[in-house]
Amino acid sequence: MFVKKEEIGNKIKKKPWPTKAAMEQVYEMKLWGGDNSDYYSGEGSHHPEILNPYIAILTSFLSSFKEPLSVCDLGCGDFNVGKQLVRHTKKYTGIDIVPGLIARNRKKFEEGNLEFQCLDIAMDDLPSGDCAIVRQVLQHLSNAEVHGVAGKLSKYKYVVITEHLPEGDFVPNKDIISGQGIRLKKQSGLNLLAPPFNLKVKEEKQLLSHVSNDGKGAIVTTLYSMF
């Protein structure tokens, strides 16, 4: 987590920096792959074995409502995933912290019920909606920033979270520095229901689990019904 210090008298006050600089670097240096011509959000957003089952299960969920839901995609990335879900929603708001990425998405994807906003989901107020989608985003954030996001999720009726988790038993929620890496390198993964987050939910339902071909854990998608 990026931190700046301001002296106040003899005390030093720490203020959290947003992850904007780190995420901009990830895309500029192609740390998640891709060519030099465009933004690329990594294999998890493009590999058919990962992507197709996810799109199918989210389409089924979103289509199960008589009245379409308004969806906020918290960390929409290059929108290779979200573009396939928009038509199943009343309104779709794609949110990301990288200004250049949001500008690119606004030019590339245009639908009557679609908008993009450049926000830091840990620090900024989030748009209203029925459902929040947080797909392989929190795994890149420090615990302090995860706290910032988790505290706002109760404004939605449903929250769909996807995380890359170790296989078998593991100690959840080990802290990391926000950026390219995830907790998997510490044999850990996020569980918002466990300390220190202790998110309160009405119901939890696992929608999907994709075991990685390289044996490095599983990408798990969970639906939470909120109070």
- Distance CA(222)–CA(199), nearest Å, equals 14
- Distance CA(140)–CA(22), nearest Å, equals 10
Domain boundary assignment for the chain: 20-225
Residue 8's contacts (CB-CB under 8 Å, 6 or more residues apart) are none
**Predicted model pTM:** 0.91
- Distance CA(39)–CA(32), nearest Å, equals 10
pLDDT of 7 above 70: no
| Digit-coded pLDDT (tens) for 8-40 | 344 334 454 558 999 999 999 999 999 877 999
Q: What CA–CA distances, in Å, run from 172 to 22, 147, 167, 169, 193?
A: 23, 14, 12, 9, 10
pLDDT of 182 above 60: yes
**Burial letters 45-77, b for 16+ CB under 10 A, else e:** bbeeebbebbbeebeebbeeeeebbbbbbbbbb
pLDDT of 126 above 90: yes
The pLDDT value given to residue 213: 76
| Digit-coded pLDDT (tens) for 81-107 | 999 999 999 999 999 999 999 999 999
Q: Which of 22, 21, 45 is nearest to 33 (CA)?
A: 45
Q: Which amino acid is at 76?
A: C
The pLDDT value given to residue 212: 83
pLDDT of 146 above 90: yes
Read off the tokens for 135: 């797909």
- Distance CA(56)–CA(137), nearest Å, equals 20
Q: Which of 9, 145, 16 is nearest to 74 (CA)?
A: 145
pLDDT above 90 as % of the chain: 87
Over residues 171-187, mean pLDDT? 95
Q: Domain 20-225 belongs to what topology?
A: Rossmann fold (3.40.50)
Cis peptide before 68 (omega within 30 of 0): no
